[in-house]
Each structure stands twice: as C-alpha cells, then as structure tokens.
Amino acid sequence: MIRRRAALALPALLLLPRAAAALEWRGEAAQGGLLIGRAAPGTRLMLEGRAVRVGSSGEFVLGFGRDHGPEAVLAITPPGGGRPVQQRIAVARRDWDVQHITGLPPAQVTPDAEALARITAERARLAAARALDSALLEFTRGFAWPARGRISGIYGSQRVLNGQPRQPHYGLDVAAPTGTPVAAAAAGRVSLAGDYFFFGRLLVLDHGHGVNTLYAHLSAVDVPEGAAVAAGQRIGAIGATGRVTGPHLHFGLSWYQTWLDPQRLLPVVQG
C-alpha cells in the first residue's frame, strides 16, 4: 500500500502592500524546487515574464530548474487590476554530483543518425505533453511514492562521458525487479503513452497548472492516453526498456518544460 502525503496547510509567507494581494505557499524556493500556493482570486502572476495560471480559488504553482539563478522575480497584479508589484524570491543553490567516465565505445556516447532522428521526434511529442496547461488541481493534494525499491539515481546528477558532458539526470530512479507495480503519484490524466528510444515504455500524467509526472522504462503500461487515473492507482510495472543497465523506474516531475526534483515532494520514507 502506497501512502499519500497529507496536503500541507499553506503558511502565509509573503504579505505585500495593501495595494497588492497576499500570497501564501508551501515548498522550498530552491534549485529543482516547486512552490504550491494560493493568492486572492483574480490575482494575476508572472514569473520572470511568464504568465502563471491562477485557479478560481487562487491556486498557483511556481517551479525552479536545476540551474536557476540566485533569485526569481514574481510580478503580482491584485484583483481588479492596478500596477503590478514585484517580489524577488531567493532561490537556494544546491550542489550536484558529477561523474567522469572514460573509455566508452563512441556508439554508446553519440547515437547514429537514424537514432538521432527518432530521438528528435520523440522529444517534440514529450515537450507537447509537458506543455499542457490544464485547470486540474490534483497537484494541490500532495504526491506519493510511485513504487517501492532502492534509490539508484537522484535528480541533478550528471555524467561526463569521454570528456563530453551529458544532460543532467532529471528524475529519481527506483530500482526493483521487472514487474514491480508502478502507481500514479497523484491523481491526473494520461497525457502521453509510448515507447521511446531513451525512456522505453513511458507514461506522462497531467496534474494541472503545468505540473506533470513521468514514469519511464516500464515493462507494462496499464492505462491509455486520455484516461483519468486516481492517486495510488496501478498504471504500469517496472521494467528495463529503453537505454538502461537494469530494471528500474525513472520517475520525473516537471512544471511545464522545467524538470524539478520529485524527491522533495515525496514522504521521507517510502510507503
């Protein structure tokens, strides 16, 4: 049984002048972090020039990437209009594990032309799924571990292969035998299902306001695109499909195109 994390009360962390709205949020403003907050209904927000969806009851989300700078600028326009107020948010820096590996055959470092064409097309489909901006509010209910197993990879780590820096690891890896159940970390809708070069069999779930989770290297996919899923519902099984060295689940979390650290939103102990 996978336990869900209870939705946290939203502490008031930021009070603006009377001409603006009061905001409250939970989470950590750090590289890879996600803030889930609430504003007065009708408030308009822009994070570094990007419009942020605000729900009918004031729900909103802010995300910060792995290499985000030391601060972010949030523009807040109160209900009814008026001049926006700028709030600078300090984004805590984190240190990342970087591994240097040499002596690998070139084919393992750089895919051939045919593989590159496939990878490019798959990246476009994945980007489209992660760009969804639905009105769902499932992200407000918290997230649970999608599978049980050993943590074999963490967010933010990076490998340098034969002197070439590779893309950082943008997820959390849970190693377990093939066939181990995988559950939805939160309720949502299946926005993508497929079989990809790097990720193997994968699923992407939309949880609203640009928040989505990705489940990769699956041996089985149990839900189709467009399906609504409940929190904790079985959606697939751990496998070793795609480019892997052994069976595990790659679990990703993103806010639109920004990959975040899923482990920071999960209970300390797997349920």
In this prediction, residue 207 has a pLDDT band, given cuts at 50, 70 and 90, of very high
Q: Which residue has the tokens 């079989």?
A: 195
**Are the beta carbons of 62 and 47 closer than 8 angstroms?**
yes
Average pLDDT over residues 250-265: 97
pLDDT at residue 244, as a whole number: 87
Tell me: the pLDDT tens digits for 24-42? 999 999 999 999 999 999 9
Looking at per-residue pLDDT, the higher value among 233 and 22 belongs to 233
Mean model confidence pLDDT for the chain: 88
| Helix segments in the chain, DSSP class H | 106-109, 113-130
Domains and CATH numbers, the chain: 23-90 (2.60.40), 98-265 (2.70.70.10)
Tell me: the pLDDT tens digits for 88-111? 999 999 998 876 655 545 554 567
pLDDT at residue 164, as a whole number: 72
pLDDT at residue 156, as a whole number: 92
In this prediction, residue 243 has a pLDDT band, given cuts at 50, 70 and 90, of confident
Name residues whose C-beta falls within 8 Å of residue 6's C-beta, 6 or more positions apart in sequence: 142
pLDDT at residue 120, as a whole number: 93
In this prediction, residue 270 has a pLDDT band, given cuts at 50, 70 and 90, of confident
The SS3 assignment for 124 reads helix
Tell me: the pLDDT tens digits for 148-175? 999 999 999 887 665 677 778 899 999 9
Please state the φ and ψ torsions of residue 26, each to the nearest 5 degrees: -130, 155
Closest by Cα among 15, 94, 90, 89 to 46? 89
Average pLDDT over residues 64-82: 93
Read off the pTM.
0.88
Positive/negative CA dihedral, 52, 231, 7, 55:
positive
pLDDT at residue 271, as a whole number: 63
Closest by Cα among 171, 142, 146 to 270? 146
Residue by residue, what is the 3-state secondary structure of 24-61? EEEECCECCCEEEEEECCCCEEEECCEEECCCCCCEEE
Lowest mean per-residue pLDDT among 200-204, 214-218, 242-246? 242-246
Structure tokens at 236: 């697939």
